[in-house]
Amino acid sequence: MPHLPALLGFALVSLGMVLTPGPNMIYLISRSISQGTSAGMVSLGGVALGFVFYMLCAAFGITALLFAVPYAYDALRIAGALYLLWLAWQVIKPNGRSPFQVRELPADSSRKLFAMGFVTNLLNPKIAMLYLALLPQFIDPAAGSVLGQSVVFGTIQIAISVSVNAMIALTAGSITGFLAQRPMWLLAQRWLMGTVLAGFALKMAFEARRA
């Protein structure tokens, strides 16, 4: 089993990642406002299935492969850092958009909502980087089965992400209305998220590879 400091550290990283803007957040907010909170929650079900897919991929070999191939680990770590920096720039650049500045979406069936949530998450590079570049840094082969640790960490990430996204979907209308009347809050939210992303990127870029 993973040690408590590693569990807490990964939980904090997972929370920071889910609170930064990305395809999942933008899609769920837009869907909830355009079609109602029930549509947002159905879409979230598809997003959750995407998390499970990534977690199982990591648990059944990807993590072990990264430990076995140092250059692959370092390449993904650097790629993850560069991607997070790019995300940060997208948030804080002039004329950048907040995820709470939504776009209108047409009404869709529950089946399509679920499928679109799944595909949105599956194609979300932020989640891929979380599992490919961040997760291996918290796994310690000396602490037991890499498979077991991957499942534990993945379950923590899924629980945190689904909980936070559910709250965002349920309150999207209220948050958007509040921010729409307070443009300075939107600007502050963008800079805060951009700073968090850049901080994660720098930490990842200069993190020494675990033995």
Residue (of 20, 23, 44, 10) closest to 134 by Cα position: 10
For position 175, what pLDDT does the model report?
Answer: 67
Q: Is the pLDDT of residue 62 over 70?
A: no
Distances (CA, A) of 21 to 103, 177, 197: 15, 18, 9
What is the pTM for the complete model shown?
0.68
For position 166, what pLDDT does the model report?
Answer: 93
Token pair recorded at residue 91:
């948030």
For position 156, what pLDDT does the model report?
Answer: 93
Residue (of 4, 69, 17) closest to 203 by Cα position: 17
- Within a domain: residue 210? no
162 against 203, higher pLDDT: 162
For position 61, what pLDDT does the model report?
Answer: 66
- Within a domain: residue 126? yes
Q: CA 201, CA 78: separation in Å to the nearest integer?
A: 9
| Residue 52 confidence class, pLDDT cut points 50, 70, 90 | very high
- Within a domain: residue 136? yes
- Within a domain: residue 45? yes
- Within a domain: residue 211? no
As for how many domains the chain has, the answer is: 1
- Within a domain: residue 81? yes
Average pLDDT over residues 167-180: 73
Cβ atoms within 10 Å, residue 192: 14
| Residue 210 confidence class, pLDDT cut points 50, 70, 90 | very low
48 against 192, higher pLDDT: 48
Do 38 and 166 touch, CB atoms closer than 8 A?
no
- Within a domain: residue 156? yes
Token pair recorded at residue 181:
């009347």
For position 23, what pLDDT does the model report?
Answer: 76
Token pair recorded at residue 160:
């945190």
For position 201, what pLDDT does the model report?
Answer: 73
Range of the domain at 97: 4-205
Phi, psi (rounded to 5 degrees) for 99: -60, -15
